[in-house]
Amino acid sequence: MDLILFLVFAGIAVVAAINVVVQRHPISSAVSLIAVMGSLAVLYLLLGAEFIAAAQVIVYAGAVMVLFVFVIMLLNAGGETKAGRSFVASLLGVPVLVALLVALLALLAFFSARLYPRDTEVHFGGFRGGTAQAVGRALFTTYLLPFEITSILILIAIVGAIVLARKELE
């Protein structure tokens, strides 16, 4: 059951992520990105991260992507025109990407095999420490200082966004 759930939603995530990259129109990429984030939320649930799964849907798939779609529609951005790419770039692009993927997989395999010699089996309910209660307790005790700094960061972001957006009105 867990395996089927993982395969289905990992498949959706990979296909939608490929779609994000290959689509010409930004709106198509944005909708595909929402699909990636939704399926990642399911995988977070599978890993026992209830709070993060909910935050993923609300903050990412909800707020951030609405902001993206809003800006795309506000700018009336059309499809991407085909750029006159250099020959070297079109020749090297895909091999470099595959090399990066292989390097990442090798690094992950090397370090996880070193740290955790036995591959853990993931099953739903295997880790129950990701509830809102547990996350909230850690957030307001161990991670209180980063949390407070985050509030200042968001305040700066709000002021910065307003200043940048107001300049165009004048």
Say whether residue 110 binds other proteins (CB under 8 A): no
- Total residues at interface with other proteins (CB under 8 A): 81
Q: Which of 18, 73, 91, 144 binds other proteins (CB under 8 A)?
A: 18
Say whether residue 73 binds other proteins (CB under 8 A): no
Q: Which of 36, 57, 110, 117 binds other proteins (CB under 8 A)?
A: 36
Question: What region, left, alpha or beta, does residue 40 occupy, with left being phi > 0 and alpha being psi -120 to 50 degrees?
Answer: alpha
Say whether residue 140 binds other proteins (CB under 8 A): no
> Which is it for the CA torsion 126, 130, 133, 138, positive or negative?
positive
Burial class (CB in 10 A: 0-12, 13-18, 19+), 10: middle
Nearest approach, Cβ of 109 to other proteins (angstroms)? 7
Say whether residue 12 binds other proteins (CB under 8 A): no
Q: Which of 35, 42, 56, 110 binds other proteins (CB under 8 A)?
A: 56
Give me the 76-105 binding string for other proteins, x by CB under 8 A, dash otherwise.
-x--xx-x---------x---x--xx--xx
**Structure tokens of 111?**
């370090």
Say whether residue 51 binds other proteins (CB under 8 A): yes
Q: Which residue pairs from 101-104 have beta carbons closer than 8 angstroms and sit at least 24 positions apart in sequence? A: none
Nearest approach, Cβ of 130 to other proteins (angstroms)? 5
**Structure tokens of 146?**
């980063």
Phi and psi torsions of 48, nearest 5°: 80, 20
